[in-house]
DNA sequence: TCCATACTTCGTTCCCGGGCGAAGCATTGC
DNA sequence: GCAATGCTTCGCCCGGGAACGAAGTATGGA
């Protein structure tokens, strides 16, 4: 007999096309209203309402009533991480986009993964931080080095707040389009926010894909080069 | 509209209780026959046959006919990793074991995660390797250091074979019971095999849980202490 | 006050898909 | 060869659950 957590319940929640579309939309990190979710899922209001009850009971989403709207978001970074892992598996198994379109390319370039940067840009950021000696292996994952602390501080991140937070500053997340890791956790989230503040990346209305502004096109590679340059190189295998 | 890989298909595959039980059983890494899977899933032969077709079409399992038996295994480490991530999510969401039992404790102690060691023992191994300076951050994940190479060689692992293999030597996998990372990849698999050869761990018939032999009880902590001792300590935060 | 909007609840329909029994094929062993 | 085993295919049944329309309940604005 098999043991372990009941994977079937979560699988069933994700296994419905409407719910899957809703969850995928929520990977943008934005809180969406029930009617917005109805639109992305292509179903009516009563249906989406029933789905929201099930997703909430399953612990995958958190809902918050605000006026006559009901704002829905993913229940946490854990959920987003697992969904990203599933997206990766689906990708590798050839379960292609339900609607392959022109902004597939934009998605691969740069997108939001719950609250941090993913896609080519996300990978480039992670690689630059690693090359610059900003990251080190910790017993429970990845951690910021002193050097990394200084680098992020120099970028204008609020480091005291980051350290104070209950949430771990660094996590890694498996990027489904690039098939390698990018930076998640508090630092990942703060970096994405900062890049948006600086006007280098701009969110889109319709999808998780991020628009890289002209300024971002110029400044981001420059930043990555600068970050990576200071490093003592990666230790040999 | 949402984009990205079609997560619903895989979710639906995992979402059926019988299929979920089958997949969980296959996390033992063993190749099981269709009738064995029927037993763990609690369904009849025709039903399991239909399930196997769907799982194979979805790319989650690989089947191989051998005589009049049909041996089924997970389609690869990628699948196992994603399933482990889902197990973690289910665990954290309070979707408890369908049959909480006495060997739940054994599962948490030491178990097979597809082909490598997981549970408390898996975490202890990872921590010891990290403390001993055997692992370093690489641009695409975790890698063995020169020191780590030497340590594993000293344990009797076939290092040339490990390096020759197409498969990455080191991967990390999110342990669902400990909520932190353990070592996967070629090295993780080779270590588990070695521990079994040495008679420190013994597989069980019925579950993924591993039996820690008396010798293992004595030697494994000793080994972990020895591995961890040589290290230069972890870099500060 | 009254209507419009956003969402939920209820009741109904309907279809997909899991399950099994019976029969059909292979493979093995006597 | 014949029976036994392991698995698949076919046909059928049945239940769960996804979807919507209509009505009900909150909130906000005119």
Q: Is residue B2 domain-resident?
A: no
| Mean pLDDT along residues A182-186 | 97
How much of chain A exceeds pLDDT 70, in percent? 93
A206 with A94, same domain?
A: yes
Nearest CA in chain B to A79: B89
What does R_g of chain B's alpha carbons equal in angstroms? 19
Pick out residues whose CB falls under 7 Å from strand D.
A 12, 16-18, 43-47, 50-51, 54, 67-68; B 33-35, 45-46, 48-50, 52-53, 63, 68-70
B47 with B99, same domain?
A: no
pLDDT at residue B158 is higher than 50 = yes
How much of chain B exceeds pLDDT 70, in percent? 93
Residue B101's pLDDT is what?
65
Least confident of A10-14, A231-235, B121-125: A231-235
Q: Is residue B237 domain-resident?
A: no
Look at A137 and B138 and tell me if their CB atoms are within 8 Å. Answer: no
| Mean pLDDT along residues B122-137 | 96
Residue A233's pLDDT is what?
45
Q: Is residue A68 domain-resident?
A: yes
Number of domains in chain A: 2
A87 with A68, same domain?
A: no
pLDDT at residue B28 is higher than 60 = yes
Nearest CA in chain B to A205: B1
Residue A12's pLDDT is what?
98
Q: Is residue B59 domain-resident?
A: yes
Among B47, B75, B103, residue at a domain's last position: B75
pLDDT at residue B206 is higher than 90 = no
Among B48, B75, B102, residue at a domain's last position: B75
Residue B234's pLDDT is what?
44
In the structure, what pLDDT confidence band is assigned to residue B229 with cuts at 50, 70 and 90? confident
Nearest CA in chain B to A75: B93
Look at B94 and A9 and tell me if their CB atoms are within 8 Å. Answer: no
Per DSSP, the residues of chain B read ---SS-HHHHHHHHHSHHHHHHHHHHTT---EEHHHHHHHHT--HHHHHHHHHHHHHTTSEEEEEETTEEEEEES-HHHHHHHHHHHHHHHHTT---SS--TTHHHHHHSEEETTEEESHHHHHHHHHHHHTT-EEEETTEEEE-HHHHHHHHHTT--HHHHHHSSS-S-EEEE-TTTSSEEEEHHHHHHHHHHHHHTTSEEE-SSSSBEEE-HHHHHHHHHHHHHHHHTS--PPP-
A98 with A63, same domain?
A: no
Residue A7's pLDDT is what?
96
A36 with A150, same domain?
A: no
Nucleotide with minimal C1' distance from the CA of B67 is C27
Look at B3 and A207 and tell me if their CB atoms are within 8 Å. Answer: yes
Residue B236's pLDDT is what?
37
Q: Is residue A236 domain-resident?
A: no
Among A75, A106, A130, residue at a domain's last position: A75
Residue A235's pLDDT is what?
41
Write down the residue that tokens 């095999």 correspond to: B193
Residue nearest to nucleotide C17 (CA to C1'): B16
Q: Is residue B196 domain-resident?
A: yes
B216 with B191, same domain?
A: yes
Question: What's phi and psi for B63, nearest 5 deg?
Answer: -115, 150
Q: Is residue A223 domain-resident?
A: yes
Span B29-45, pLDDT tens digits:
999 999 999 999 999 99
Contacts of B96 in chain A (CB under 8 A): 5-6
pLDDT at residue B192 is higher than 60 = yes
Look at A236 and B16 and tell me if their CB atoms are within 8 Å. Answer: no
Residue B237's pLDDT is what?
38
What phi-psi label fits residue A120: left (phi over 0), alpha (psi between -120 and 50 degrees) or beta? Answer: alpha
**B225, B221, B110: which is closest to B175 by C-alpha?**
B110
Q: Is residue A180 domain-resident?
A: yes
A65 with A136, same domain?
A: no
Q: For residue A41, what are the domain limits?
A: 7-75
In the structure, what pLDDT confidence band is assigned to residue B100 with cuts at 50, 70 and 90? low
B90 with B192, same domain?
A: yes
B208 with B155, same domain?
A: yes
B19 with B44, same domain?
A: yes
Per DSSP, the residues of B56-92 read HHTTSEEEEEETTEEEEEES-HHHHHHHHHHHHHHHH
Residue B103's pLDDT is what?
73
CATH of the domain at B39: 1.10.10.10
**Rounded CA separation A165/B201 (Å):** 40
Give the residues across from A173 on adjacent strands.
A182
Mean pLDDT taken over chain B: 93
| Mean pLDDT along residues B185-206 | 96
Residue B109's pLDDT is what?
94
pLDDT at residue B122 is higher than 90 = yes
- Counted across chains A and B, CB pairs separated by less than 8 A come out at 259
8 A C-beta contact, residue A83 and residue A27? yes
Span B72-85, pLDDT tens digits:
999 999 999 999 99
Q: With both helix axes pointing from N to C terminus, report the angle between B7-15 and A17-26 in degrees, rounded to the nearest 10.
A: 120
B33 with B48, same domain?
A: yes
A163 with A47, same domain?
A: no
Residue B49's pLDDT is what?
98
| Mean pLDDT along residues A201-229 | 94
């Amino acid at each position: 007999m098999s043991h372990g957590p009941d994977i079937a319940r979560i699988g069933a929640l994700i296994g419905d096309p409407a719910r899957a579309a809703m969850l995928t939309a929520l990977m943008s990190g934005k809180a969406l209203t029930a009617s917005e979710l109805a639109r992305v899922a292509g179903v009516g209001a009563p249906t989406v309402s029933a789905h929201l009850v099930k997703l909430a009971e399953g612990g995958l989403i958190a809902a918050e009533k605000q006026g006559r709207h009901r704002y829905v978001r993913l229940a946490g970074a854990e959920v987003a991480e697992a969904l990203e892992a599933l997206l990766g598996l689906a990708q590798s198994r050839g379960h292609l986009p339900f609607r392959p379109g022109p902004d597939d390319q934009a998605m691969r370039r740069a997108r939001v993964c719950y609250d941090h940067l993913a896609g080519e840009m996300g990978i480039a950021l992670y690689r630059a931080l690693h090359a610059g000696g900003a990251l080190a292996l910790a017993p429970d994952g990845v951690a910021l080095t002193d050097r990394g602390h200084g680098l992020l501080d120099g970028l204008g991140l609020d480091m005291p707040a980051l350290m104070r937070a209950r949430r771990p500053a660094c996590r890694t997340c498996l990027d489904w389009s690039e098939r390698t890791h990018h930076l998640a956790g508090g630092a990942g989230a703060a970096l994405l926010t900062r890049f948006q503040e600086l006007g280098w990346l701009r969110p889109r209305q319709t999808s998780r894909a991020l628009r890289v502004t002209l300024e971002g096109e110029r400044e981001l590679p420059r930043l990555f080069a600068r970050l990576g340059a200071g490093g003592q190189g990666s230790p040999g295998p």
